[in-house]
Structure 1
């Protein structure tokens, strides 16, 4: 007999888990729509030509490739095997599972540019796939909830993103989180100051691992990528600087005296903060993190990352400004900025901190006990009355023993059951039992409905 299993890095979600996930989805969706974003979806698969070259070398290695249908080896020759997997890949695979939602969105914008109005604001809630090594908080299949604006350079969009992040996590009752912010231009400026011009990509990929491997390992990687000991020594004032956002910006203004692009990153950050003041947030949760890099190669301006404090898990939200992403598909000079909430990690954080509202624990509010054919007609009529009032209700399908039906209700955490016997039918009443405390009483239909509604 074959033992059933699922691939590593994937998960099943039962009804209770789905209720909790939908709580997250619905919260994020409601915020996106309040800020004027419209929903769209893109296919699970994209052409590999769309996906490759957009995430850097490490990102490309994590793409799930889809074998061509039919005899996928028919177009290969013996010499292809000798030339290695990269040569072979072009012959046996033309498609891949999407790695994120941003690149497919850029492809969509270019293909539909004559149908949409710019600036274009869209949100997208769909799964993505990465051939990563599974571990806590890191999955091979997971959902992202993206919101992007394309067709404008305005830094108001960045301020809006910070406001949305705050609103989402406030609604999810997550009190302790940090929104880390930086700018790729600041990072490029740093490479100029330390004398490592032209190595911005290598620099960003290396320091993006700082939280995972520590400063010593990052320095080792930088040396391996061609940075000198002098370059690394000149990084120490940046990585070691502590202070408020204003302190760090003042430090950078002096540090970048010879780097115009670095100063531009400082000015952009200051402009975003000036807009943010008008939102009058009680706590913006912001931290300027000069080591924040975001490994994806398409970012060109402000970058974001959100950490849940007190929980051993990676970032739960990330994003940033990208100026050239649509350009690779033939639509140049269209800037965009976006954010992505990692639902699977947010799920784990809320679970660990026990932050789900009680209403997500059950789908059904009341179950009608089935006493047999005579009572079924009356039970179904009551069932429809309950549902017409927006109450989630069901009738037990079989006339089983009372203990079995009550066990079922308890197992599903159904808060109320309704008992309809001969006495109830003769009196025109229904007996409502509270499953938490065992209290029960007889009610007319309207009173029973009010009782259940008021218990929410």
Structure 2
């Protein structure tokens, strides 16, 4: 019987030591900024009840949820009639759980379940994988990491400003400058929906506007008109969306409704952000930005690289009542999410990772016999206790094989132990790049490696 070659599900990947080190580098930079800004860490299960997940991401999001079959004989509670009624009906009979689609909805569920133990406002960060049954392509995976920071239990434009500063600090720490932070406000979009005659259809209007850079202006207009929009008013909206100057944009919106909450908040946002001009914050108002998730109610963010063809590498926004669907009304929140996998792809393409980033060992202890191997056990532990990443070749193989191994794992140094070294207490330290080697006592070796 022939054995089939092992494969991975499409849209998933393995990460070897080098890639994992680079991903850890990104996570460490993001995490250090999260904690510096006062966010505390939270983790939630990979799976949630489908009742928690469905209805929070819009119809398109619900279709991309990975459902988990009930354990045991999952068909026992279904009938032929259930099958005939279609997959949407049948899934309720055979599946009660799903893999999380994002980290925000599980966070809202956590807040409601732990509301009496939480001190509001509550600032949390979460770095975990999420899953979406999407079509895999460049920058889009079925399993990927999100790095979220949310503030819940408070409402004030400082939250929006603070998250913008956080985004800026993270990308500064990653030496990534080729990006732009685009912001918009759902209240402005809802006003535009009403303006074109789509009051009550604001969410589908937003979903279509969000596709502008993907399917083009003509197709977006066609889709919005199909929702019942007035064609003349829609032309006016497209004219507004084409403007780039912030003052012009806000002036046009004010001419429709000068008391629009979105306009007032965006004005205040830019005023407060102006206090931090020394940070060179790269932010612009983009009224075509809608973000598809249905739970956003206020300001929304999207960060896109400018020199690499890639989707958003960070996004988020204000959600005023996400906890309300779980029974806790009137709790406003706002959050952003960094896309680890896309940030990695951008940094790799722009060659932004430091040269010495792989978490390889600094020195490999090699030896000639069982006796020198036993002696090396104490040496390697001395090195480790002094903060040096060290390893001991595990068996008394030929010395050539040990050196070949050192080359393969790209360790910069080897420490050689023979009978003479054991007696003298001076060990040969070899630079694997130059071939230079000299005998040194262990304390000198430690001092040299710590540099």
Q: TM-score, normalised by structure 2?
A: 0.96
Query: 1:41-440 maps to which residues of 2 (within 5 A)?
Result: 41-243=43-245, 248-259=246-257, 263-440=260-437
CA contact (8 A) 1:362 1:413 kept: no
**Cα distance in 2 for residues equivalent to 1:2 and 1:383:** 42
How far off is 1:90 after superposition?
1.0
Mean Cα displacement is larger for which, 156-165 or 197-206? 197-206
Shift in CA distance, 404/329, structure 1 to aligned 2, threshold 3 Å = same
1:295 Cα offset (Å): 0.5
**Residue segments in structure 2 that go unaligned for 5+ positions in a row:** none
1:266-312 superposed Cα distances (whole Å, 9 cap, x missing partner)? 22112222322334542101111111111100000111111122112
Q: Judge conservation of contact 1:145–1:342 (CA < 8 Å) in 2.
A: yes
> Which of residues 20, 37, 40 is equivalent to 1:35?
37
Residue by residue over 1:220-246, the C-alpha shift from the partner in whole angstroms, topping out at 9 and shown as x without a partner, is 322333334224312222221123xxx
Query: What is the DSSP-based 3-state SS (H/G/I as helix, E as strand, rest coil) of the residue aligned with 1:257?
Result: helix
Secondary structure of the 1:443 match is strand
Tell me, yes or no, if the aligned pair for 2:196 and 2:230 is still in contact at 8 Å. no
Residue in 1 that maps onto 2:5 = 3
1:164-208 per-residue CA deviation (whole Å, 9 max, x = no partner) reads: 111111111112111111111111122233333222111111121
Checking the alignment, whether the CA contact within 8 Å between 1:249 and 1:266 is kept in structure 2 is no
Secondary structure of 2:256's counterpart equals: coil
SS at match of 2:138: coil
Runs of 4+ in 1 over 6 A off after TM superposition: none
Q: Report the secondary structure of 1:306's partner residue.
A: strand
Matched positions, count: 449
Stretches of structure 1 lacking an aligned partner (at least 5 in a row): none
> TM-score by structure 1 length?
0.95
Instruction: Please give the per-residue CA displacement for 1:81-109, whole angstroms capped at 9, x wherever unaligned.
Output: 22111111111111111000000100111
- Given that 1:362 and 1:414 are in contact with CA atoms closer than 8 Å, whether structure 2 keeps it comes out as no
**For the structure 1 residues 141 and 44, does the alpha-carbon distance in structure 2 shift closer, same or farther, using more than 3 Å as the test?**
same
CA RMSD of aligned residues (A): 1.6
Distance 1:39 1:233 in 2: 46
Give the superposition deviation at 1:406: 2.0
Conserved 8 A contact 2:300-2:318: yes
